[in-house]
């Protein structure tokens, strides 16, 4: 018999949706109400971009590179438009960035950055830009790479944010672009209010946004004002077809549902809520964890789907109480145990609290013959 234990999880609405012309998001208003929000440069929740220029993906030398005799080097490209060439001097822990996009190091100039160690090799505050319609769009990124060659990930740490009013309440809208100068579902959107901060780090920018009882179609355009590059967001009121969802989400601070066209984010969801119609899967569930939210179990995945239809009410139970389980498998004479932590909708979580790792004990009858803790995660 196998027994498992895990620390008990301690245990209002925002909706995001994709929309396209001709879908449930089509506007029914004769004169749509619009407002333009000016988003100015700001520090942002990071957007990760992986890269790999190792082995078969290795780049040949750039034209007229600096003389680096007997130095270990590697090359890569930052995915701006056009791409930004980078040359890594591994021996001296340096990175040469051709911010002017020209792969010829004898033309123009390059900026040198020094690395530090942060679990991996880290180059901080790289300044790069993308050129769109004669406009230079600036970004600040950091680069994590492994000790050898040129592979790892970039983190975009700059973005744009601005405030707008809705029904007398002020909201802050934030956008992080993936360096290509075009805002679409490959970029990230965040929202926050004066009451609470809500960062949607892993939410693609939708074409339509439904929250606080309003459905808004989103359009974005980069422009320059007084030598500063800003992002203008146009919010247009629309009226999607709606259905009802009765949510039972114990211990859940934020819930995200998603179908092929829409994303729905609910803050402290409870009771019956009007949502755009769609066939949703549970895409994320963020749990309370007392005073330390970072230690809460982290959502991994869920196969559960729920259909929201016009004129009908559907029930969804998700979140706490969480159930502990152990998946047991044999590999020769090795018994492998895998911890499973699941919620009310069958969603799966990982444990993040290293101080209170899930534990197990194996008994033969009343006699305990083995025990221990599961690894982090």
- pLDDT of residue 235 exceeding 70, the answer is yes
**Is the preceding omega at residue 321 within 30 degrees of 0, hence cis?**
yes
Return the pLDDT at 258: 84
Q: Which two tokens stand for residue 106?
A: 């004898």
Handedness of CA 171, 176, 181, 183 (dihedral sign): negative
Separation between Cα atoms, residue 304 and residue 73, nearest integer Å: 48
Residues 133 and 52 in one domain: yes
Count of the separate structural domains present in the chain: 2
Average pLDDT over residues 201-228: 85
pLDDT for 196: 60
Examine the domain organization and report whether 377 and 286 are in the same domain.
Answer: yes
How far is it, in rounded angstroms, from Cα 275 to Cα 210?
Answer: 8
Lowest mean pLDDT among 40-44, 185-189, 294-298, 365-369: 294-298
pTM over 0.85: no
From CA 122, how far away is CA 142, in angstroms rounded? Answer: 7
pLDDT at 20: 38
Q: Is the pLDDT of residue 243 over 50?
A: yes
Of 157, 178, 208, the last residue of a domain is: 157
Q: Write down the pLDDT at residue 13.
A: 46
Question: Quick check: is 324 in a domain?
Answer: yes
What span, in angstroms and rounded, lies between the C-alpha atoms of 141 and 306? 38
- Residue that finishes a domain, picked among 124, 157, 190: 157
Phi, psi of 308 (to 5 degrees): -110, 120
Question: Is there a domain that residue 190 lies in?
Answer: no
The predicted structure's pLDDT at residue 247: 94
Token pair 């330390």 is found at: 292
Instruction: pLDDT band for 93, please (50, 70, 90 cuts).
Output: very high
Residue 266 above 90 pLDDT? Answer: no
Q: Are residues 151 and 254 in the same domain?
A: no
Above 80 in pLDDT, residue 107? yes
| 170 assigned to some structural domain | no
Distance CA 336, CA 326 (A): 10
Q: Are residues 153 and 246 in the same domain?
A: no
Q: What is the average pLDDT score of the chain?
A: 85
- What are 36-82's pLDDT values in tens digits? 999 999 998 789 999 999 999 999 999 999 999 999 999 999 999 99
- Residue 133 tokens read as 């319609």
Outline where DSSP puts E strands in 167-312. Answer: 169-176, 188-193, 197-198, 208-211, 214-225, 228-238, 242-248, 252-258, 263-267, 271-276, 278-287, 298-301, 305-308
Residues making up the chain, counted from first to last: 377
Model confidence pLDDT, tens digit, residues 120-132: 999 999 999 999 9
> Beta strand pairing status for 94-97 and 188-193?
unpaired
Same domain, 20 and 93: no
Whether residues 371 and 257 share a domain: the answer is yes
Q: Percent of the chain, pLDDT > 70?
A: 85
Provide the domain limits for residue 62: 46-157
The rounded percent of the chain whose pLDDT value lies above 90 is 51
Q: Report whether pLDDT(283) > 60.
A: yes
Q: Express each pLDDT in 146-205 by its tens digit.
A: 999 999 999 999 999 999 998 888 889 999 999 999 999 899 998 888 766 555 667 888
Would you say residue 217 lies in a domain?
no
């Amino acid at each position: 018999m196998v027994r498992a234990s895990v620390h008990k999880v301690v245990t209002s609405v925002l909706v995001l949706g994709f929309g396209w012309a001709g879908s449930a998001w089509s506007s029914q208003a004769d004169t749509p109400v619009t407002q333009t929000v000016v988003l100015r440069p700001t520090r942002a929740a990071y957007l990760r971009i992986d890269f790999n220029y190792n082995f078969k993906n290795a780049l040949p030398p750039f034209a007229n590179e600096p003389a680096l005799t007997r130095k270990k080097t590697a090359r890569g490209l930052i995915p701006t438009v056009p791409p930004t060439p980078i040359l890594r001097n591994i021996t001296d822990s340096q990175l040469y960035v051709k911010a002017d996009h020209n792969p010829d190091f004898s033309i123009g100039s390059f900026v040198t950055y020094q690395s530090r160690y942060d679990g991996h090799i880290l180059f901080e505050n790289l300044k790069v830009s993308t050129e769109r319609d004669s406009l230079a769009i600036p970004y600040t990124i950091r680069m994590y790479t492994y000790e050898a060659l040129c592979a790892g990930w970039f983190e975009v740490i700059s973005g744009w944010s601005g405030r707008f009013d809705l029904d007398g309440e002020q909201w802050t809208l934030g956008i992080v672009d993936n360096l290509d100068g075009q805002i679409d579902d490959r970029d990230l959107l965040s929202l926050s209010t004066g009451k609470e901060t809500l960062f949607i780090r892993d939410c693609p920018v939708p074409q339509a946004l439904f929250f606080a009882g309003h459905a808004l179609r989103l359009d974005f355009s980069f422009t320059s004002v007084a030598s500063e590059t800003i992002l203008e967001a146009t919010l247009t009121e629309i009226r999607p077809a709606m259905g009802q969802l009765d949510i039972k989400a114990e211990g859940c601070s934020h819930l995200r549902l998603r179908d092929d066209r829409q994303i729905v984010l609910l803050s402290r969801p409870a009771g019956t809520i009007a949502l755009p119609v769609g066939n949703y899967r549970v895409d994320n569930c963020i749990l309370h964890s007392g005073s330390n939210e970072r230690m809460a179990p982290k959502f991994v995945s869920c196969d559960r789907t729920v259909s929201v239809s016009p004129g009908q009410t559907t029930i969804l139970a998700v979140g706490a109480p969480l159930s502990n389980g152990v998946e047991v498998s044999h590999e020769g004479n090795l018994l492998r145990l895998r911890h499973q932590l699941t919620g009310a909708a069958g969603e799966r979580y990982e444990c993040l609290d290293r101080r209170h790792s899930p534990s197990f004990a194996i008994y033969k009858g009343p006699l305990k013959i083995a025990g221990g803790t599961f690894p982090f995660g």
